[in-house]
Amino acid sequence: MKEGLHHRKIIHVDMDAFYASVEQLDNPELVGKPIAVGGSAERGVVAAASYEARKFGVRSAMSSIIAKRNCPDLIFVKPRFERYKEVSTQIREIFLEYTDLVEPLSLDEAYLDVTENKKGNPSATLIAKEIRAKIKEKTGLNASAGISINKFIAKIASDHNKPNGQKTVHPEEIEEFLEKLQIRKFHGVGKVTAEKMYQFGIFNGFDLKQKSEEFLTEHFGKSGAHYYKVVRGIHLSEVKPDRIRKSLGAERTFDTNISSEIFMLERLQNISEEIEKRLKKGKVAGKTVTLKIKYSDFSQQTRSKTLSYFISDKDLILETAKELLYQEKMKESVRLLGITLSNLNTGKDEEKCNNKEIAVQLKFEF
C-alpha cells in the first residue's frame, strides 16, 4: 500500500446549471424563468437547462422539440461560449489560489487535490466552502462541491446536495455511502448499463459488492473490474493538471433535415476546418477519424477508420470523413453530422494505476 495515497483530499467543484446561470446573470429578465441554452423551439438540442426548466423534465442533450413539449413556456437562448470561457477562467483563478493540482473536466467542473494546499488549511471541507463563497462573490454564480479521498467519490458527492451545496464523504463513511448508493448514481454507469445491472439484481452499491470480479468482468468487460474496485472505495486516478486529451471533435445540428450528399459534404468541410484550427492550436494530430450521423428519426450511427499515420490537415480529415459517408447508403434524412479525431499523438499514454487496495478506515481531519 502506498503511503500518502489514502491521505489524499480531493474536491470536485461543479457549477450549477452553468450556461443557463450565466445567461440569467447577464439578463435579469431571465431570472426565475425556465430557459434552455442552445437549439430553438423548432430544431436543435438543449446544451443546458436552468433549474426552473429542469422541474419540467428538460435536460441537456434533449431534443428542443421534446423540451418545448415538456415545458411550453421554455425560453431558448443562443449559447455564448466566449462568455462562458471568460467566467470559467475567473473560476479557475480561484482554484489556483488554493492548489496547482487542478484538473478541469469542462468549463464548469474540475477536480482539485488539496491534500497539501497553498493556504495550509488541513480541512478540505472548509476549503470547498471557501472556494464556493469566492466563486459567488467574484462571479455571482453558485457552485456545488463534493469532498472525499478520491475523484470517483468526490464526483458523486458533488451531486448530492445540488444546487448550491456540498457534501463530504469522510473515510469512515465511504463503505456505507457506496453500499446505499443507487446503481444509476455511480459515475460512469449510464442508462443502458444500469438496465443490464437491474437484470442481474444489482440495484445499489451493496448488490454490486456481492458480485465477484470474475462475474462483473464476464458481463461488463473491462468496466467490470472498474466497478468491482470503485464500490470498495478503490480509485487511484490522480488529479492531473496536464490531463491528456483523448479525442477532439465537432458536430453540427441542422435547421432542416438534409438528404442531399452535396449539402452534407459542405457541412463536413466546415466541421473539418474547425477541427483543423483546434488541432493546430493544441499542436496535436490523430489517426482515427469517426463520423457521427444522427438521422431525422433520432437514431444514431458512427463509422470509424484508423489510418497508419497521424493527420491534422482539414483536407485529409474531410477525405476520410467522405469515405465514411459513402461507406453505406443513408437510411433517412440527416439532422446532425459530426467528426471526431482520436488516437492522438499526445506523446504518452495515460498513467496506469496499480491494483493495490486502499484501506478506508482512516481518521484524519477532513
Q: How remote is the C-alpha of 272 from its chain's centroid?
A: 23
- pLDDT band per the 50, 70, 90 thresholds, residue 283: confident
Q: Examine the domain organization and report whether 292 and 253 are in the same domain.
A: yes
* pLDDT-based confidence at residue 282 (cuts at 50, 70, 90): confident
Taking only the tens place, the pLDDT of each residue in 189-225 is 988 899 999 999 999 999 999 999 999 999 999 899 9
Q: Is residue 46 part of a domain?
A: yes
Q: The domain that contains 282 carries what CATH number?
A: 3.30.1490.100
Per-residue pLDDT band at 67 (split at 50, 70, 90): very high
Integer Cα distance of 61 and 84 in angstroms: 18
Contacts of 131 (CB under 8 A, 6+ apart): 11, 13, 94, 95, 98, 112, 143, 145
- Which residue is catalytic, options 23, 52, 103, 109? 109
CA distances to 208, 248, 287, 338 from 307, rounded to whole Å, are 40, 16, 5, 18
- Whether 109 is catalytic is yes
CATH code, 188? 1.10.150.20
Give yes or no: residues 29 and 74 share one domain: yes
Residue 142 lies in a domain: no
Tell me the residue range of the domain where 33 lies.
18-81
- Same domain membership, residue 340 and residue 260: yes
135 inside domain: no
The owner of cell 493556504 is: 119
- Same structural domain, 287 and 221: no
| 223 and 254 share one domain | no
Decide if 362 is inside a domain. no
In this structure, is residue 152 part of a structural domain? no
336 and 255 fall within a common domain: yes
> How many domains does the chain divide into?
3
What are the backbone dihedrals phi and psi of residue 365, each rounded to the nearest 5 degrees, phi first?
-65, 130
Q: Do 309 and 226 share a structural domain?
A: no
Q: What is the pLDDT of residues 123-156, one digit of tens each?
A: 999 999 999 999 999 999 999 999 999 999 999 9
Q: Are residues 251 and 332 in the same domain?
A: yes
- Number of Cβ atoms within 10 Å of the Cβ of 32: 11
Give per-residue pLDDT as tens, 249-276. 898 888 788 888 888 999 999 999 999 9
